[in-house]
Amino acid sequence: MDLDLAPPERAFRDEVRTWLRAHLPDDLRDKVARYAPLGRDDLARWHRILAAQGWVAPAWPTEWGGTGWNATLRYLFEEECGYAGAPPLSPFGITMCAAVLLRFGTPAQKQRFLPPMYRGDEFWCQGYSEPGSGSDLASLRTFAVRRGEHYVVTGQKIWTTHAHFADWIFCLVRTSRESERRQEGISFLLIDMKTPGVTVRPLALMDGGHEVNEVFFDDVEVPVDNRVHDEGAGWTVAKYLLGHERMNTARIGTSRRELERLKHYAAQQMCDGRPLIDEPLFRMKLSRLEIEVMALSITNLRFLDALRAGRPPGAEVSLLKIRGTEIQQTLTELMLEAGGPLAQALSGDDDDVTHALARRYCNYRKTTIYAGSNEIQRNIVAKQALGL
């Protein structure tokens, strides 16, 4: 197993790092550093900067605008973006739905949806979870009845990130109840959010932010041409999509950046007359976290080594999701601890990072739930990777 970067890979990393220093707008970098909310305009602006450079969709085939980078270069690019403090790209279109269209979409669907997705002209959201159907996604109840060349969709989705400014939503809907297996009879539809009958209602989170929503479908007509893959084959599409989602949840570059920030912050905070970073118990927690970040980085390099050899990652990719999201939560916990009593408030000056720590802590409680809860991921590893 080769965990070292080759000279061309190190040169590529330096190229990306130099480009980010020159092209990442200071105000966007500052928003990320202050944990300020990022709106559609912020996300679209960075998306279009990357698109102009030809770097917005590295994993796409070159004929659709991809870079032709191998798995190692794509990983280095994502890590450097996170480490530099770049805004995250909204993954629902460019990463998730695009992967589905490239694998299962018709030529007409690819031609219609991929170019505006690449340019950042259309934003997407994901319609999976429902009240009572989260980790047990096969229990979903949103139903679609086919009437001629349309499906008529009725039901509800919940915790839908970015639905309030999305143009399109990709949805799992039930098109048949005849099979005893709940995974059968589910289809994958692309729905225009401007279609009559679509209603978006905001959900206020613990941190006071508006990031997720409820989405209601009341007799919403969807062209049959907007179904991806065969009718009733949506579960196959969903599993394929979740594999792409879980590969991108570790966010190692972001965690490395936040770890350095935590060290700097703890060195400035005083505890019993000395810097908090020198307090033995806190230093032990910090050291343990740094080791875990290093171990996660090495684990990710192991997956990259497998990809170099042409072996796609299997169920064990869930390890990246489990440890990556738990590390992200631990970082917010230690930042909150370092901030002291003033960091406990959910409200305060948006320009004061200390007052943002509690909001960020609350927001990051979700990381171990999305893309399949970590409890489910452990079951997947136990059954499919360890054979237990």
229 shares a domain with 270: no
Residue appearing with tokens 């009845």: 145
Beta bridge partners of 151: 146, 222
Per-residue confidence (pLDDT) for residue 342, from 0 to 100: 67
Low-confidence ranges of the chain (pLDDT < 70): 1-3, 243-248, 307-314, 342, 344-355
14 shares a domain with 42: yes
220 shares a domain with 298: no
Report yes or no on 107 lying in a domain.
no
User: Which residues, 6+ apart, have CB-to-CB distance to 333 below 8 Å?
Assistant: 361
335 shares a domain with 299: yes
Report yes or no on 174 lying in a domain.
yes
311 shares a domain with 265: yes
373 shares a domain with 256: yes
Catalytic annotation present for 245: yes
Per-residue confidence (pLDDT) for residue 380, from 0 to 100: 82
253 shares a domain with 197: no
Per-residue confidence (pLDDT) for residue 356, from 0 to 100: 84
CB neighbourhood size of 132 (10 A): 10
β-pairing, 210-223 vs 150-157, is antiparallel
307 shares a domain with 229: no
Report yes or no on 95 lying in a domain.
no
Q: Domain holding 344: CATH number?
A: 1.20.140.10
Opening angle at CA 353, ends 348 and 357, nearest 5: 80
User: Which residues, 6+ apart, have CB-to-CB distance to 2 below 8 Å?
Assistant: 305, 308
pTM, 2 dp: 0.88
339 shares a domain with 313: yes
Opening angle at CA 216, ends 211 and 220, nearest 5: 130
Domain that holds residue 181: 124-233
Opening angle at CA 311, ends 368 and 375, nearest 5: 20
- Give the active site residue among 79, 211, 245, 258: 245
Report yes or no on 108 lying in a domain.
no
352 shares a domain with 261: yes
Per-residue confidence (pLDDT) for residue 250, from 0 to 100: 77
* 3-class secondary-structure state, position 317: helix
84 shares a domain with 16: yes
Q: Domain holding 197: CATH number?
A: 2.40.110.10
Question: Which among 233, 265, 291 is the end of a domain?
Answer: 233
Rounded CA-CA distance 125/319 in Å is 25
Per-residue confidence (pLDDT) for residue 351, from 0 to 100: 55
Report yes or no on 157 lying in a domain.
yes
Report yes or no on 241 lying in a domain.
no
H-run or E-run covering 344 = none
User: pLDDT tens digits, residue range 44-60?
Assistant: 999 999 999 999 999 99
* 3-class secondary-structure state, position 343: helix
The tally of domains found in the chain comes to 3
Report yes or no on 96 lying in a domain.
no
380 shares a domain with 256: yes
Report yes or no on 20 lying in a domain.
yes
